[in-house]
Amino acid sequence: MTIGELAGIIAALAFVVLVVFICLNLSKLSQILKDVNETVEKLNTTIDVVTKDVDNLSIEVEGLLNKANTLVDDVNGKLSKTDPLFVAIGDIGTSVSDLNDSTKNMTSNLLKGVGKKRQSPIEKFVNSAKGVARKRPSAGEAAPSPRTETTNRPATKPKPPVPTVDSLEKQLYESELFDIKNKPASKTAGEIKIKN
C-alpha cells in the first residue's frame, strides 16, 4: 500500500467517525427536542388549568367585592342614621355642663348672699321691741334713776354671743357647700369624640 492509499483509508475512517459522531449527536438532539416538546405541552396544559382557576377565582373575588361594597354602603347608611343620636348626646352633655355651671354660680351667689341678708321692716321692729323690753324694769323692781350709778346690780349670766356675719361666713366656708363653689367645672362634659 502506498502512502496515498493509506492516507485515503485514514481519511475514510476519519469521515466514518465524523459521520457516526454527527449521527449520535443528532439522535441526542432529537431526544432533547422531544423532551422540550413534551415539556411545552405540559406547560400549555398547566397554563390552561391555571387560567381556568384564575378565571374562577376572579369571578369569586368579584362577587366578594360586590358583597363587601354592599355591606360598606349598608354600614354607612346606618351610621348616617345614628348621627342625630350622637349630636343629641353631645347636646345633652353640653346642657349638663351648662347646668353644672349654673348650679355652681347659684351656690356661689347663695353663699355670698347669706352673709349680706338685709333685715325686713318686721324684723327691725321685733329687734327694737326686744331692746326696749331689755331696758325696761320688771314689775317688782324700781326704775333706776338716770343719775344713779348701777354698780350694785346683781351679777347676771353672760349671754351667749350673737353670731356675726363673719362667724356665719366662716361656718359656711367650712361646710361642704363651699367645696362645691371652689370645684372647677367639668372639662369633658358635652364632648364626644368618634375615632375614624
- pLDDT at residue number 194: 62
Burial class (CB in 10 A: 0-12, 13-18, 19+), 189: middle
191 phi/psi in degrees, rounded to 5:
-105, 125
pLDDT at 77 over 80: yes
**pLDDT 10s digits, 102-156:** 888 888 877 776 655 666 677 777 777 777 767 765 555 555 555 544 555 555 6
Mean pLDDT of 155-172: 64
Mean pLDDT of 14-40: 94
- Give me the helices (H) in the chain, please: 3-114, 121-135, 165-174, 176-182
- pLDDT confidence bin for 60, thresholds 50/70/90: very high
| Helix, strand, or coil (residue 162) | coil
What mean pLDDT, rounded, does the chain reach?
79
pLDDT at 66 over 80: yes
- pLDDT at residue number 169: 61
Does the pTM exceed 0.85?
A: no
- pLDDT at residue number 15: 93
Work out the angle at residue 29's Cα, subtended by the Cα atoms of residues 23 and 32, and round it to the nearest 5 degrees: 150
- pLDDT at residue number 40: 94
How distant, in Å, are the alpha carbons of 9, 13, 16, 100 from that of 19? 15, 10, 5, 111
Residues 85, 194 contacting (CB under 8 angstroms):
no
